[in-house]
Structure 1
């Protein structure tokens, strides 16, 4: 079938592609810890300089834009999380962690999760299986050395999930992935129709800061949405999650959300969330553990 156009594929071929990695059973619980109505999992992809570097861009201007994420954005994010007592997940390319080891230690010291996000924010679908595996193993070892804890979850760079990513995830013994978009709530990943035990904590471009706020002088498209309009979209996503008793998951980047006016909008969103009773703030690892295990973690208290 190699080289055939998709409209020439037989049923076995197109079903095989669709079923390679598929959403299995829903893992949304009847309730969250302590009877909470909604789970809130905030995450930050600390890409920093790896965005230009992975494309071979080494000029100081592009690297400075990434450096902002570590120098200014991440400290602001940590202060906001500390103010409201919220645990979060930080997905960090290994090269970014090596460039900013104190930042990794700050995340860990504050009780946040440090999780995998590739080696240098590479595109997995451009790699062969051996190379993708080697980079993943190297990244896991690097984050463990710097944070003091072996990562239990992965978010593929740019959510680029190859035909080999799930097998590598399982080989590493990771508890969850957070790169796919088949649901709003956690589900189990299937590999060729078979349950894997790997939790998917789904993402979505709607709940990501980049599509709204990114600006790249070198591209024709320069999307920009006023920060409080972005927060309004995310507030509606949260409110619907409360109504459904589900998960509100958010993906942000310190070099994007970490600017002053954007942090003001994020603070207003957090204040909206925090005004609700029955909110369980959790890391992605805690969500995965809760939906899989009978020994479920105690809820983190929201600020009063």
Structure 2
């Protein structure tokens, strides 16, 4: 175990002096033209196979993931497209009733925010918020834009609409608070690339074992930093239509079991991290 101090300038701590925080980021998505997996791309036209691939999340995948989280006793945060909330209210209600956090995630996952149309963006935030609240009975306070592709107005609009946190950045290992024209917003940067089913398994075309290898190496390094007084945060990302397939579940179970073998790990939802960050760094 390295004994030399870290040259890490930012001072941080988790509740009860935990050495590392771990979150599970879920996703229930719906699309207009195609999902992230396609056999044949035809821009501007519906890809029926690709859309059917996405529907697997609502028909089968979400239940397998919920079973895994019940088995392991963990609570996650689920990014939900407004269209998915409208199409699959029973599934969204099951997620919320199991204690997982609903998170706003745009209306359709393949339609990105247009910086040039702020009225359309604020209306979409309101529409998504209502759809998720109507489906699950709980109002979201976190938001991640499809593709993390928010606009220059997104943070202010979210603060105006009563949101606490946003997950569109990738510029830190830890949460931080940013001042917007409409109030403070907690930024929860994306720390999930090594354990993201889309990036590593589907887009990366790697076997599931690569997710395990990257999770273990990342966890070990961050846990070591926590032991030296600089606690960090690790996240696993599970899309219902990807990780909800049987192929990946054993690997995710292995990752969770490995983390559970360690002491001083804070298993939290993303809203828990955001609420903690706001207490530590109020604006």
Give the shorter-chain TM-score range. 0.7 to 0.9
Runs of 4+ residues over 6 Å off in structure 1: none
TM-score, length-normalised on structure 2? 0.84
- 1:199 alignment counterpart: 186
For 2:114 and 2:62, how far apart are their aligned partners in 1? Answer: 29
Q: Describe the SS at the equivalent of 1:293.
A: helix
Q: Structure 1: which 5+ residue stretches go unaligned?
A: 1-24, 216-222, 295-304
- Asked whether 1:166 is paired with 2:155, we answer yes
- 2:168 alignment counterpart: 179
For 1:51 and 1:230, how far apart are their aligned partners in 2? Answer: 28
Q: Structure 2: which 5+ residue stretches go unaligned?
A: 1-8, 37-42, 226-230
Q: Kindly indicate whether the alpha-carbon contact (under 8 Å) linking 1:133 and 1:168 is maintained by their aligned counterparts in 2.
A: yes
Q: Describe the SS at the equivalent of 1:124.
A: coil
- 2:6 alignment counterpart: none
Q: Kindly indicate whether the alpha-carbon contact (under 8 Å) linking 1:49 and 1:65 is maintained by their aligned counterparts in 2.
A: no
- Asked whether 1:259 is paired with 2:245, we answer yes
TM-score, length-normalised on structure 1? 0.79
- Asked whether 1:148 is paired with 2:130, we answer no
Structure 1 residues 147-195: Cα deviation after superposition (integer angstroms, max 9, x where no partner): 111111101111002111111111112110011101011111244xx89
For 1:95 and 1:276, how far apart are their aligned partners in 2? Answer: 39
Given the superposition, is the C-alpha separation of residues 53 and 268 from structure 1 closer, same or farther in structure 2, using an over 3 Å criterion? closer
Aligned partner (choices 196, 207, 223) of residue 208 of structure 1? 196
- 1:230 alignment counterpart: 211
Structure 1 residues 24-58: Cα deviation after superposition (integer angstroms, max 9, x where no partner): x96x732x233322111110121144572797553
For 1:253 and 1:105, how far apart are their aligned partners in 2? Answer: 17
Q: CA deviation at 1:212?
A: 1.8
Q: Describe the SS at the equivalent of 1:42.
A: strand
- 2:105 alignment counterpart: 117
For 2:275 and 2:137, how far apart are their aligned partners in 1? Answer: 19
